[in-house]
Structures are given as C-alpha cells and as structure tokens.
C-alpha cells in the first residue's frame, strides 16, 4: 500500500468521524442489545444512563464552565461517572423490571424524558440548555486522546472489551439463567431462581457498558447538552441496535456503522432536515423484511447459499450414481 493510499484510509474523517463515532454508539447500543436480546427487556433509557455518566464527567471534571465544574482528577472522575451511571441503571431496572412489554418501554421513556427536562431546566448543576462545552479527554503518557488516531484506538479497545465481556456473560451461568428468565420466568422461579434479581442485575451490567460509552461519547463530542439525552437520541440508540440485529453482540456495531455512514453521506443527497426520514425508511425496510436486522439478512443469504450448494452436490451425486449403475448393468460386447 502506498503512503498516499494508507493516509487516505487512515484519514481523520474515517478514523474519527466514522470509526470512533460508530464504536462509541455501538458500545451504548450493545447495552440495549444485552438487555433486549438476552434479557427480553426493551429499555429506552440506555442513552439516559450514558448521559448521566457524561454529565458527571463534565460536572466533576473540567469544562468550559469553570464556575460549575469542580476540576477533579480525570481518573477519579471517570470512576465516579461509570459508578454513577451503573447505579442509575440499577435504580431504573428496579423500577421497571416488574413490568413487561409496552409498559417497560413507557416507564423507561418517562424516566429518560424526566432526566432530559431536569437537565434542561436546572442551571445550578446542569447549566440548563447550554450544557457543558470543552469537555475534552486528558493527556495521558504524553498522548492527547482527543486526536483522531488515539481516540479511535481508545474506542476500539473498550468496544472489544464490551463485546467479549457480553460474549462471555451470555455463556456464563448468569447469562444462561437470564435467558431462561426471558423465555419462561415462572419456570425459572419454580427452579429456585429470582427473575427480579436477575433482571435488575442485567440492568446494572447494561448500565456499566452504557456508562463507559457515555464517557467516550462526551469526550468524542467535546460537550454535553440536554439535546444529547433527548428523545431523538434515545430512539437513535434503539435504531442502531435493531439495524444490526439483537441476537448477537456484534449486531449493534454493524448497526452503528450503517447509521454513521448514512448520517455523514445521506446529507449529500438530501437535505439534513430529512435525515430522519432516510433512517426511518431504512429502519422500516429492515424490520419488515428481516426482524433480526442486517445479521438476519446475512443468515438468510448464507442458508440460501448452503441449500444451493447442497442441491448442486446432490444432483452431482445422483448423476454419478446413475452412471455407475448404467455401467454395471451394461453387457460386455460380443455376449448374448
């Protein structure tokens, strides 16, 4: 690869604007995939959990609003942000696990909207609708993590940690029991498991993942405002998770890549104001023709290719068998 082509592939646009953003959004959507795909709980509050972690980073750390931000050490701020987001997710789970279906969606949506209006109307802590600007990641070991390449590898590292953590967890006894609760809570309760405890614990795990994504997101944007946790972004995280597919941990990252690509390139074809229309149409097509998202299409294509190969192999074997039978039944020349 020539230096020109390598610099084009690793340009700040692709590494930061596409790769970094997709990995960050995918990590937040992974928390929703874990809850909905393996726990059967569709929560719209995962972006709220990420926003709580982001606001903690801005309030306890440094920002462009020094009269509110406390300027604590970055490592302590990150720990408290992740812990605060996980605690908030646990409380949300405790409130919502006793409901199912549309009621869970409505409760988590109500909690998300309550936090949105709290952040928008409170100026003493959240700085109102202006939020916090200039929230940048620290310089550690001489590396500025705000620059494209370092941030990309930082997001990639935590995305891989989240992916393999979920892969391990769904095969662990807790993950197997959680899937059993998803399929039949009464039977699991009769076997001695506590469906409520497993569901609340699942919310805590999802909150941990979403909180890490929230810290990365506020560092990526360099700011956080009430718009960062509004209804549109709560729905966008759901769209990202559904686009890729909720039956595999890699699904949200695939959905995030598609979402970010559409976000960056669709505006070249249509007005920016109509971006939600494009996302809505893509979402509608995928939901109608592949309930398992893009991974569902891939599975269908793979099954179709396997059937074609199997049919072709069976036809070849049939021809060979017919030929072998014909040769064995043919009489030698010159015999009656």
Axis-axis angle for helices 251-265, 275-289 (nearest 10): 150
Q: What is the rounded CA–CA span in Å between residue 81 and residue 21?
A: 20
Residue with tokens 């300027």: 71
Residues 275-313 pLDDT 10s: 667 777 777 777 777 667 777 666 667 766 777 777 666
What CATH fold (topology level) applies to the domain 9-289? ABC transporter involved in vitamin B12 uptake, BtuC (1.10.3470)
Which residues, including other chains, have CB under 8 Å from residue 17's CB and lie 6 or more apart? 260, 264
Give the Å distances, CA to CA, from 307 to 182, 294, 298, 303: 32, 20, 14, 6
pLDDT band at 328 (very low <50, low <70, confident <90, very high): low
Residues 35-90 pLDDT 10s: 998 998 989 999 999 999 999 999 999 988 889 999 999 999 999 999 999 999 99
pTM: 0.84
Residues 125-179 pLDDT 10s: 999 889 899 998 888 888 888 888 999 999 999 999 999 999 999 999 999 999 9
* Domain regions of the chain by residue span: 9-289, 294-329
Residue 1 has what pLDDT? Answer: 40
User: How does DSSP assign 192-210, residue by residue?
Assistant: T--HHHHHHHHHHHHHHHH
Residue 317 has what pLDDT? Answer: 65
Query: What is the average pLDDT score of the chain?
Result: 85
pLDDT band at 5 (very low <50, low <70, confident <90, very high): very low
Q: What is the rounded CA–CA span in Å between residue 114 and residue 43?
A: 15
Q: What is the rounded CA–CA span in Å between residue 279 and residue 295?
A: 18
């Amino acid at each position: 690869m020539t230096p020109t082509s390598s610099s084009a592939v690793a340009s700040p646009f692709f590494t930061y604007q596409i790769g970094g953003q997709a990995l960050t959004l995918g990590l937040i959507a992974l928390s929703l995939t874990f809850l909905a795909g393996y726990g059967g709980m569709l929560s719209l509050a995962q972006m709220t959990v990420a926003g709580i972690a982001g606001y903690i980073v801005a309030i306890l750390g440094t920002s462009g609003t020094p009269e509110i931000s406390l300027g604590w050490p970055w490592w302590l701020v990150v720990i408290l942000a992740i812990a605060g987001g996980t605690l908030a997710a646990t409380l949300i789970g405790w409130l919502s696990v006793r409901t199912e279906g549309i009621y869970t969606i409505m409760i988590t949506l109500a909690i998300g909207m309550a936090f949105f209006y709290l952040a928008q109307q409170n100026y003493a802590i959240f700085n109102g609708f202006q939020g916090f600007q200039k929230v940048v990641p620290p310089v550690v070991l001489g590396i500025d993590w705000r620059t494209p390449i370092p941030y990309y590898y930082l997001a990639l590292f935590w995305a891989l940690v989240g992916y393999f953590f979920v892969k391990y967890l769904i095969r662990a006894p807790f993950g197997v029991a959680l899937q059993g609760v998803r399929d039949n809570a009464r039977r699991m309760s009769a076997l001695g498991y506590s469906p409520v405890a497993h569901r609340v614990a699942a919310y805590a795990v999802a909150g941990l993942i979403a909180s890490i994504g929230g810290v990365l997101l506020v560092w990526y944007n360099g700011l956080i405002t009430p718009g960062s946790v509004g209804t549109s972004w709560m729905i966008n995280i759901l769209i990202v998770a559904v686009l890729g597919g909720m039956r595999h941990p890699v699904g949200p990252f695939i959905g995030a890549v598609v979402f970010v690509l559409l976000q960056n390139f669709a505006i070249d074809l249509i007005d920016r104001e109509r971006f939600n229309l494009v996302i809505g149409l893509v979402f509608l097509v995928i939901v109608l023709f592949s309930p398992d998202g893009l991974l569902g299409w891939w599975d269908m294509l793979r099954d179709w290719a396997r059937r074609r190969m199997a049919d072709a192999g069976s036809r070849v074997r049939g021809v060979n068998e017919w030929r072998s039978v014909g040769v064995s039944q043919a009489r030698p020349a010159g015999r009656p």
